Structure 1
Amino acid sequence: MRIRTRLLLLILAVLVPAFLGVALAVGYVYVEERRAQENSVKETVRAFSLLVDNELETNEGILHALAGSPALAEGDLDEFYRHARATAPLRGGAIALYDAAGRRLLDTRVAPGSALPERRLANIDTLARRYGADRTLVSDVFASPEGGHRFVIQVPVHLGGRIAYFLSMSADASSLQKLLTRQRFPEQWQAVITDRQGHIAARLRDPERFRGHLVGDAVLRSFAVVAEGTVSANNLAGIPMRGFFNTVPDSGWHVMVTIPQAELRRVPLHTAAFLGAIMTTLLVLAVAAARWFGQRAAAPIEYLGRSAEEMGQGREIAYTPQGVLEIDAVARRMAEASRQIVRAQAELERRVAEAVANSERAQTALMRGQKLEALGRLTGGIAHEFNNLLQTLTTALQMAALTSNQPKVQSLIETCRRTVGRATALTTRLGSFGRVQDARLLTVDPADQVRGSLQLLRGVLRQGSSLEVDCAEDVWPVTVDPLQFDLALLNLTINARDAMPDGGRLGITVRNVTLEPGAERAQGAHGDYVRVSVSDSGTGMPPDVLARALDPFFTTKEPGQGTGLGLPQAYAFATQSQGWLALSSSVGAGTTVDLYLPRSHQPLSPQSPSRGGTEAPRGAGRVLFVEDDELVRETVVRGLEQSGFDVVVAPGGDQALAMIEAGLDADVVFSDIVMPGKVSGIDLAGILRERRPGLPVVLATGYTDQRVAVPGVQVLAKPYEIDQLVDLLAGLARQE
C-alpha cells in the first residue's frame, strides 16, 4: 500500500469519528445555548423586578419618614402639611393624610382650609379589605382627572399602639419610565411594567400611547397562574414573540420582557453553524493534506531525518539533491543552518567574553559611585554643621567691626575674618564629594578660569617642569562651581607633579567639542561640551593601578604623602557639573585626564561687587527669618535689625508656614534649607510660590543633597556677609 494511501486512511480513521462526535456536540451546544440564553433573560427580568420593587420602596421610605414626624404625633397638621409639601415628589406628585376612618385630612395639592376631594380614584380601599389595612399598599394604575395615569402608595401611621392615620403618596406612572431607559435592553427587545390587573404603567417603546392599556389575554392568563414564567404569543405585527415575566415583590405588580423567537434562536443557530463549518473545512483539508503528504513523503523524509540527526550532533551537513523542490529547499536551509551554527558558537563565545568584561566594568563603576556617595554624605554633613558655626562667626565679626572704632580691635577682627575665610575654603573642599551646591554655581568662561589659576598651578610644579596652556578662541561658557573647578585643576597638577619627580611637561588645553550619539567616549551622552585636558609626561600608570585610580582613598604614594582623593575629587566635580571624566594612561607615556563639561546657554555670571568702608548697609521692610540654629538666629537677627529691618523669627519651616497661613504680612522670606520637621526650606519656598506668588523668597545653604528647583528663588551660600544679605533682601523687598 502506498504511503499516501496509508496517510489518508490514518487521517480519516482519526477525523471521521471525531467529526461524528462533534456533530452530536453541535446539537448539544445548540440546546444548551438556547437554555442558557433563556435562563439569562429570566435572571434579567428577575433583577428588573427587584429594581421596580426598590423604586416603590423608595417612595414607601419617604412615607415612613413622614409617619415619624413629631408634628403628626402632636396633631399639628399645619406644621405637618409644610413637611409633607416639602417632601412631595416634584413631578406632579402629592401626599395626602387620612384619619383611621378613611377621611382625607390634608392634601399637598390643596391649601390648608380649602375643600378636600372626597372620592379616591385609586383602589386602595379594595386592597385594604383584601390584604388588610395594617401594611403598605400599592394601588393599580388609574387615569387622573388632571391627565395621565397615576398610582398610589399607602402606609399606616401607628400612634399609641393603634392605627391613627394613613399616609398616601400619588405618583405619576411615567416616573417608572426611567427604570426601563437605564436597562439598555437590545433594540429587538420590548419591556413593560404592569399593575396587578395588567394595565401598562411603563413601556420601553411608545410608552405614552400604551400607558393604561391592558396587555394581551394570553399574558393575563399567565399572570394569574404563576408568579414568574414565560408566555408565547404574536405581537401586533404578527411576529412570534416569547415573553419572560416576573412578579414584583410586595406590590403584586408585574414586569415582562418580550423577545422575537427568531432572535432567541439566532445565537444558538450561529454557534452550531459555525462549529459545523469548521469541522467540514477541517475534514476537507485533512483529506487534501493526506493526499499531498502521501505524494511527497517517503525517501526525502528519511533523508531529512538523517540530516537533522547530523546537525544535532554539531556536524556540518553535506547537501544532496532529492528531486523534490520542497525537500531540497529544506535540505539546503539545513545545510546552511549547520554552517551558521558553527559560526554562531564562535560568536557566542566572543560575546560572552565581552559581556563578562562589561559586567566587570559596570560593577567597578557602581562601587566607585557608592564610595563617592558615602564620602559625600559624610563630608557634606560635616560641612553643613561647620558652615552654621562659620555663619555665626562671620556675622558676629562684621557686627563687631561696625560697632568698634579702635584700630587694634579692627586688626584683630580682620585676622579672625581671614581665619574664617580659610575655614570656609576647608568646608568647601569637604563638600566637594557631596551634592552640587546651587548657591555656588556660576556661569563662567572656562578659558578665563584656567588662566586665573596659572599662578597657583605654577607654584605647585617642581623646578625643571614646564606648564603649557592652549585655550581655543570663543570657548563656550559652562555652569560650574568655580572653586571646585580650581580645586580639580590643582589636584590634577599635584598628581602630575608627583608623576614627574625629575621634571617634565604639563599641558592644559581647552577646546569646544560636539559629541555625536554613539561616539566612542561619549559615555551615553551627546551634544556640545567643553573639554579641559590635563596631560603630563610622567611615568604613567599600569592597568591594575588605572583600574582603581578613581577609587576614593586609593593611592600608590607612601603613607603621609597623599590621601588618594585628588582624582576622585576631579571625578566628583565633573559628575556634579553634569559631565564626566575620562582617564587614559600607560606606563612610560604619561597620563591624560579629560574633563567634559556641558555647554551652558546662560549669560556669564556677573562678578559680585565689593562694598568699601565699614558703613552699615540699610534696609527696610518686614523679614520672616526661618533658621533652626539658635546661634545663627541670634547673630543674623541682630544684624538685620540694626540694618533697619523688622524681623519675625520662625525656628522651622512648619512654624513659618503656620505663621504665613495665620495672616503674617512679610515683605520677604529668608530661610535655611536643611531644618528639622516636615517642611524644609525648599518645601517652604515651593508652597509659598503656589499660595503667595508675589512674596520674594531667599534660601541659605551650607550643604544640602536637594536641588533648588523652585523658579524665582535665590540661593545664598553660607557663610555669607551680612551686608551681602542686607543688599539682597532690601532689593527684593522693594520689588515686592
Structure 2
Amino acid sequence: MRIRTRLLLLILSILLPAIVAASVAVWYVYQEQRKAEVSGMKEAVRALSLLADRELLAMEATLRTLAASPAMRDGDFAAFREQARRVAPPEYAVVVITDLEGRQLLNSRQPAGAMPPQSKSNLMALRSAAGPRGTVVSDLFMAPVGKRPDIAVQIPVEVDGKARYYLAMGIAAERLVPLLVQQGLPAEWIASLTDRQGRVIARSREAAKYTGRQVRPALRARIMAGERSGVHQGVTLSGIDTIAFFARAPLSNWTVILSVPLEEMRRPAIIAATGFTAMIVLMLGLSIAGAHWYARRTAAPIEHLRHTAEALGRGEPLAAFTSGMAEADAVSRALADAAARIRDNEAQLERKVAEAVAAAERAQRALLQGQKLEALGRLTAGIAHDFNNVLQTLSGALQLIPMTQDRARVQALAETCQRAIARATTLTGQMRSFGTVQDARLATVDPATAAHNVLPMLKNALPDNVELVLDIPASPWPVTIDPLQMELALLNLVINARDAMPAGGKVGVALRNEMLPDGAHGLPGGAYLRVSVTDTGTGMSQETLAHALEPFFTTKAVDKGTGLGLPQAYGFATQSNGTLVLDSEPGAGTMVTIWLPRAAGIAVTQEEGARVVPDLKPAEGLVLFVEDDVLVRETMLAALATGGFDVHAAGSGEEALAVLESGAPVRQVFSDIVMPGAIGGVELARIVRTRYPDVRIVLATGYTESRVNLPGVRLLAKPYDIAELYQALR
C-alpha cells in the first residue's frame, strides 16, 4: 500500500477525536479574533499618533534650520523675515519670533514694519510648564492674521549659550487632514486628531464641519484625565455607534482617535467562527472511517526514517532497511547513498578549501608586496630625480667658483647655490609631510592670517581665466600646525585645481568652524576647522582617486608636475592630527577638504617678511657645540667663531657630557637631536637641565620622531639661517 493511502487513513482516524475539541475551540476562536482586531486597531492608532508627531518633527527641523541662520544670530529680522517666507510661504504657514515674555517681535505673514499681533495660542502657558528649553506644541487656536484654525510648534533660540528668543511655526489645521485621509481607511471608519482639550484638529471625514468642536463628554473626560491609550464605546459627533480606539502622541500630547462602527468590528469574528464551524462539520463527516491500526503501521517506518536522518546529521554510516512501504524503503536507500557521498564530498571539500585558502594567502602577500615595491620605487625615483637636479646645480656652481676671478660672478654662483639649497629645503619639507610632526615647526596660528599670507602666491599661480573666490570668516578657530606646511598645502591644491581647468573656471578656498560627530572621517568627535579647496575642472576617475595620495603619482606631463601636491597636503593634514578627504567625479570638478582639530590655546601673531640681521658683537661664555656629522661640525664651528663665540666641539652626547663633568665654563649647549650612542640631543638636554640648571640649551633637528617637551629649550629647524642661530644663542 502506498504511503499516500496510509496517511489519508491516519488523518481520518485523528480527526474523529479532534472534532469534539474543535467544537469547544469555536468560541475561543471568536474571542481571539476579537482580541486580534482590538490589538490591531490599537497598533494602527498608535502608528497614526507617531505619524502626527512626524509631521511636527518636520516642522521642528525647519525651525532649527531657521534658528541656526546668521540673520537670527545677528538679530537681522528683516533678512530673517525674507528667509522665513521662502522656507514657509505665508499662504500655508507662518513663522513667529517672540521675546522670552511671549511678545511677538516678527510675524512672517505681515508686511515688513507692521506691528505684530498678540498670539492667541497657549504656547507660552505650555512653555511655563515645560521650561525654557525643548520643543512645545500648541493646542488648536484661531490665528489672529490668517483668521483660521491653526496649530504651532515652538523652539527656543540660543545666542552665546543663552535663550534669547522663541521661534514658532504655525500651519493651518486643515493641512493635517491629508495625513488621516491618505491612510486608506475604509469608508465607514473615521480618524480624528484632537488637542489636549479634546478639540478636533483634523478629521478624515467632514473635517471642515467638525474642526474646533469638542469630542463627546465621556471620551473627552478620558482624554483630559491623561490616559495614554484605550478603547471607548460610544457615539461619534455624527451620531454613529462606534468603538473608538485612541492613543496619545508622545511629542505633541495630541490624541488620535480611530472610530469603527460596531457592526464592522463584530463582522470579522463572526465570519471566522462561522467558517471554523463549517469546517468542523465537514471534518466530522469525513472522519467516520478512522483506523488506529493504519496509523500505527504508517508511523513505524516514518519514525525509523527520522532516526536514520538524525544519524545522517551526526555523520554516522547508514544501512538501508526494508519496511514493506515502497516510499519509505526508497527514502532509506537514498539516505544511505547520500551519507556515503556526503562523507566523500566533505573530505574533498576540506582539501580544496585548504588549498584555496593557502593560494589566496600567497596571492594576497604577493599583491601587497608588489604594491609596496611599486610605491617605494616611485617615491625613491622621484626623490633621486629632484635631488640629482639640486646636486647638479650645486656641483656645477662649486666647480666654477675656483675657476672664476670675477667677484660679481662668484657672488652670482653663490646665489645660485643658495637657490638650489632653497629648492632642496622645499623638497625635504614636502617629504617631511610623510613623517611625524616636528615640534620645531609647530605653532598655534590664526588660519585666516595664514590664508591671507599665502594669498599673493595663490593669485600669482592662477592665470587670468581662472577666478579665485575666498570665503574666510572673521574669527576661525585657531589650529596648531606647521604654518609653512599649511601655506604649501594651499598652494599645491590651488595649482592642482588650476591644472584641472585648462579652459578656465573658478577656484574656491573656504574656512569653516564645524563640529564633527565621533567617527566621522575616522576622526574623534569635537571642534574642527574645515579647509576646503574646490574647482570646476575636469574631475578625477575612481581609478585616479585610488592613487591620488601616493607620492610622485601624477597624470600630468613630465614637466608639469611632481606628484607631491596632494600627498604633501594629505601628510600635512595627518601630521596635524586631522585628515584629508577627496570628492571628485569626471566632469563635475573636485573638492579637497582638510579637517584640522581646534587648538586649545590662542593664536600667536607672526611677523611676516622680517629677516634677522647677523649680530657680530663678541659673545660671552663658552658654547658647547654637539654634532656628530663632521662636515656640519666643521662648517658651523667656523660660523660660530666668525660670530664671536668661544666654541668647544663634541661629536656625541657622551663626549659632551664628559666636557660638562670636567668643569669647563660652559654657558650654553647647542646640540643636534639625532646622534649615535645612548645619549641623543633630547636626553642630553634633560641631563643638562637637571644637573646644570644655569646652562642654556638650544637644540637643532632636521627630522626626528622624538617629542621635545622641555620648557625653556629653544628649537631650531634644519637648515637654519646663521643669523637665526646667532640670535638664539645671544
TM-score greater than 0.5 by the shorter chain: no
Q: TM-score, normalised by structure 1?
A: 0.43
Q: TM-score, normalised by structure 2?
A: 0.44
Greater Rg over alpha carbons, structure? 1
